[in-house]
Amino acid sequence: MNIELRQISKLYGETQALRKLDLIVTDSVNVLVLIGPSGGGKSTLMRLLGGLESPDSGDLFFNKQHLLQSETVLLQHRRQNGYLFQSFNLFPHLTALENVELPLIKVHGKKPAEARSLSLTALSRFQLDDHADKYPAQLSGGQQQRVAIARAIAIKPRLLLLDEPTSALDPEMTAEVLAVIESLTQSGQQIILSTHEMGFARAVADKVVFLADGKLIEEGPPSALFEQAENKQVQSFFSKVMRY
């Protein structure tokens, strides 16, 4: 992926979510991981990178295309991406299969037969064949999140954005979902991931960005950031979250 952010700021009411943030991500990066304390700006940055929101000021480029030049360009970028948020966001009145089919038909204009074929393929990829006709309430948390991932990748996204994908899961389900995400990284899927799972971040990232107070505090390859962080705030964060 090729990303460039120039002086990006985002304000929600009186809360400054991002503060004149600069970031360059080169083509050598396939998996970008955002880490840092809660409320630091990770989710906001994810939404901006995915085209779900626009910044209040600054410039945003993806693959050298200026995404903020028009709403049409931003919408086109948004439709090429897959999204997974902290909550599963599955429709409770639809089966797993119907949840995956719906955006293919309503957003991407696929015919029902093609949407069904793509959806079944995506569910099968994550060992959900036997659960296609079940409703979310009949699935475990890990299974629900895997359905959400299947929905996100069914469109064959250019970019997959995963915002705290394991935050609502217990340890066993967390491991289950992380294994699915790792398989996606190994298949070459371009991913932007925010997470509090430091071991996983270190294992899968090509580049790690540490955000706090709406600012980019430090960035680099995982080996450098986790072992030789230069910023004292980053060092303090690691000493707390990786203590046990």
H-type alpha helices, 161-211: 171-186, 198-204
Q: What is the dihedral of CA 213, 74, 3, 106, to 10 degrees?
A: 100
Is residue 127 within a helix (H) or strand (E), and if so which, with residue range?
none
Judgement on whether residues 22 and 117 belong to the same structural domain of the protein: no
- What is the C-alpha to C-alpha distance for residues 229 and 134, in angstroms, rounded to an integer? 46
Judgement on whether residues 62 and 162 belong to the same structural domain of the protein: yes
Given a contact cutoff of 8 angstroms between Cβ atoms, the answer to whether 182 and 31 are in contact is no
Given a contact cutoff of 8 angstroms between Cβ atoms, the answer to whether 161 and 78 are in contact is no
Under-70 pLDDT residues of the chain: 244
- Residue that is last in its domain, among 157, 176, 193: 157
Residue 129: partners with Cβ closer than 8 Å, 6 or more residues away = 120, 123
Is residue 73 within a helix (H) or strand (E), and if so which, with residue range?
helix 71-79
Judgement on whether residues 167 and 239 belong to the same structural domain of the protein: yes
Q: Residue 167: its pLDDT value, please? A: 80
Q: Residue 172: its pLDDT value, please? A: 85
Judgement on whether residues 120 and 145 belong to the same structural domain of the protein: yes
Judgement on whether residues 74 and 97 belong to the same structural domain of the protein: no
- Residue that is last in its domain, among 108, 139, 157: 157
Round the CA-based radius of gyration of the chain to a whole number and report it. Answer: 18
pLDDT digits (tens, 9 = 90+) for 156-213: 999 999 998 888 788 888 888 888 899 999 999 999 999 989 999 999 999 999 999 9
* Closest C-alpha to 192, from 72, 86, 33, 77: 33
Judgement on whether residues 108 and 131 belong to the same structural domain of the protein: yes
Q: Residue 93: its pLDDT value, please? A: 97
pLDDT digits (tens, 9 = 90+) for 99-108: 999 999 999 9
Given a contact cutoff of 8 angstroms between Cβ atoms, the answer to whether 20 and 9 are in contact is yes
Judgement on whether residues 116 and 23 belong to the same structural domain of the protein: no
> Which CATH number goes with the domain that contains 32?
3.40.50.300
Q: Which two tokens stand for residue 146?
A: 């895997």
Q: Residues 7, 12, 16, CA angle at the centre, nearest 5°?
A: 50
Q: How much is the mean pLDDT over the chain?
A: 93
Q: Residue 30: its pLDDT value, please? A: 95
Q: Report the number of distinct structural domains present in the chain.
A: 2
198: domain range? 1-80+158-244
- Residue that is last in its domain, among 157, 192, 207: 157
Judgement on whether residues 67 and 167 belong to the same structural domain of the protein: yes
The pTM is what? 0.91
* Closest C-alpha to 31, from 124, 159, 118: 159
Judgement on whether residues 140 and 188 belong to the same structural domain of the protein: no
Q: Residue 244: its pLDDT value, please? A: 66
Judgement on whether residues 74 and 100 belong to the same structural domain of the protein: no
Judgement on whether residues 2 and 46 belong to the same structural domain of the protein: yes
Judgement on whether residues 3 and 57 belong to the same structural domain of the protein: yes
Distance of CA 187 to the CA centre of its chain: 16
